[in-house]
C-alpha cells in the first residue's frame, strides 16, 4: 500500500484576530474578495482530498494567520475528518475560537497544534480553552515561542496544564546565542525536546521525506517539497501529480523549523511522534521524565 501522504496546506488566508508585534498578519483583515478567493481554494482542496480514495491522506493546515475563527475552516476540518481514507487532520491555531464545531468531527482523526501567545491572551483564558478541548476529547499539543521574558509564564502554563498534554517550546533563533545555558536548561525542564528545536539542523544532501511522502500545497494546488524549499515540484490538480512524489535530498543548508526537520530521515522524528507527528504529540510522554525545579 502506498504510504500516507502528509500535506501541509497553506491557502491565501493571511489575517489574524491577534496582534503579535513580530507577525505580519497581526490584526490584519481581508476584504470580501480575498475571503472568497480563500474559500474557493479551500473548497477545491477539500474536494480534491475527497477524490483521492486510493490513497491515505493526512493534512496539517499551516495558515498565514488564524484560520479557525473562520467557519469555512471548521467546516472543512469536519468534512475531512469524516472521510474514510483520511488519517489525520491537524491545524496550527491560537485556540481563540469556540470549540463546539469539533463535535461534528471524527475526533479520533483530529489534532490541534495550539500556540499560546502570552502578550495576546491571559493565561487563564487560554487554559480554559485547553480544558475545553481536553474535555471534548480532542488530541492537542500546546506550545509557545521561548522568548526570555515569557519563561515564567510558560513554566506556569506547564504547571497548570493536565500532565498528559505535551507543551512544546519553540526556540527563538533569529538572534545568535540568544539563550544562556541556564535558560536552555530551564526550557529543557519544561520541554525535554527543546534542545532539538534550538538547532538549525544541517540538511544539505540529507535524505528527507519532504517531496516523497510529505508535501506542501498552496491555494492554487502548487506542490513544493516543504515550506522552505521554494521550487515547485508539481500541482495536485494535475492528474499525474503523484509522479512528482519521489525521494530527494535536501537542497537547503539547514532546516530549523519543526514542521520541516521532522521529515529528515536521520533525526528519527517519525519514531518519536508516530501518528501524532502533525499535531506534535510524541508517542511516549517524554515530557514527564523531567521534574520541574522549584
Interacting residues with ligand SF4 (CB under 6 A): 16, 18-20, 23, 25-26, 65-66, 94, 117, 203, 206, 208, 210, 225-226, 228-229, 250, 252, 255, 260-261, 263-264
Query: Nearer to ligand SF4 by C-beta: 65 or 143?
Result: 65
Q: Which residues contact 166 (CB under 8 A, 6 or more apart)?
A: 141, 142, 191, 280, 281, 282, 285, 287
Q: What is the C-alpha to C-alpha distance for residues 220 and 240, in angstroms, rounded to an integer?
A: 16
Q: How far is the CB of 104 from ligand SF4 (least distance, A)?
A: 25
Q: How far is CA 91 from CA 31, 114, 148, 214, 233, in A?
A: 23, 8, 26, 16, 24
Query: Nearer to ligand SF4 by C-beta: 74 or 170?
Result: 170
Query: Nearer to ligand SF4 by C-beta: 263 or 280?
Result: 263
Q: How far is the CB of 238 from ligand SF4 (least distance, A)?
A: 21
Query: Nearer to ligand SF4 by C-beta: 20 or 99?
Result: 20
Q: How far is the CB of 82 from ligand SF4 (least distance, A)?
A: 27
Other beta carbons within 10 Å of 181: 7
Q: How far is the CB of 30 from ligand SF4 (least distance, A)?
A: 13
In total, the chain counts a number of residues equal to 294
Instruction: Supply angle C-alpha 93, 74, 219, rounded to 5.
Output: 80
Query: Nearer to ligand SF4 by C-beta: 81 or 168?
Result: 168
Three-state DSSP at 133 gives helix
| E strand spans, 62-166 | 64-65, 86-93, 110-115, 139-145
Q: How far is the CB of 125 from ligand SF4 (least distance, A)?
A: 14
Amino acid at each position: 500500500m502506498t504510504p500516507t501522504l502528509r500535506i501541509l496546506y497553506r491557502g491565501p488566508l493571511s489575517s489574524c484576530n491577534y496582534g503579535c508585534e513580530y507577525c505580519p498578519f497581526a490584526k490584519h483583515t481581508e476584504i470580501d474578495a480575498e475571503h472568497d478567493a480563500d474559500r474557493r481554494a479551500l473548497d477545491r482542496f477539500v474536494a480534491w482530498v475527497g477524490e483521492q480514495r486510493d490513497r491515505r491522506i493526512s493534512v496539517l493546515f499551516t495558515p498565514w494567520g488564524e484560520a479557525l475563527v473562520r467557519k469555512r475552516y471548521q467546516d472543512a476540518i469536519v468534512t475531512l475528518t469524516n472521510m474514510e481514507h483520511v488519517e489525520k487532520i491537524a491545524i496550527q491555531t491560537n485556540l481563540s475560537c469556540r470549540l463546539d464545531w469539533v463535535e461534528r468531527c471524527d475526533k479520533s482523526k483530529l489534532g490541534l497544534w495550539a500556540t499560546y501567545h502570552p502578550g495576546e491572551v491571559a493565561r487563564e483564558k487560554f487554559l480554559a480553552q485547553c480544558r475545553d478541548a481536553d474535555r471534548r476529547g480532542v488530541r492537542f499539543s500546546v506550545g509557545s515561542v521561548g522568548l526570555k521574558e515569557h519563561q515564567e509564564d510558560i513554566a506556569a502554563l506547564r504547571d497548570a496544564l493536565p500532565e498528559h498534554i505535551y507543551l512544546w517550546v519553540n526556540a527563538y533563533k533569529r538572534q545568535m546565542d540568544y539563550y544562556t545555558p541556564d535558560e536552555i536548561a530551564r526550557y529543557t525542564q519544561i520541554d525535554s525536546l527543546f534542545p532539538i528545536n534550538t538547532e538549525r539542523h544541517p540538511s544539505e544532501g540529507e535524505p528527507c521525506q519532504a517531496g516523497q511522502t510529505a508535501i506542501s500545497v498552496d491555494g492554487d494546488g502548487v506542490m513544493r517539497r516543504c515550506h522552505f524549499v521554494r521550487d515547485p515540484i508539481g500541482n495536485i490538480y494535475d492528474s499525474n501529480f503523484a509522479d512528482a512524489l519521489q525521494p530527494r535530498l535536501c537542497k537547503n543548508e539547514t532546516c530549523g523549523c519543526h514542521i520541516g526537520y521532522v521529515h529528515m530521515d536521520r533525526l528519527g522524528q517519525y519514531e518519536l511522534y508516530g501518528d501524532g507527528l502533525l499535531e506534535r504529540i510524541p508517542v511516549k510522554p517524554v515530557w514527564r521524565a523531567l521534574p520541574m525545579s522549584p
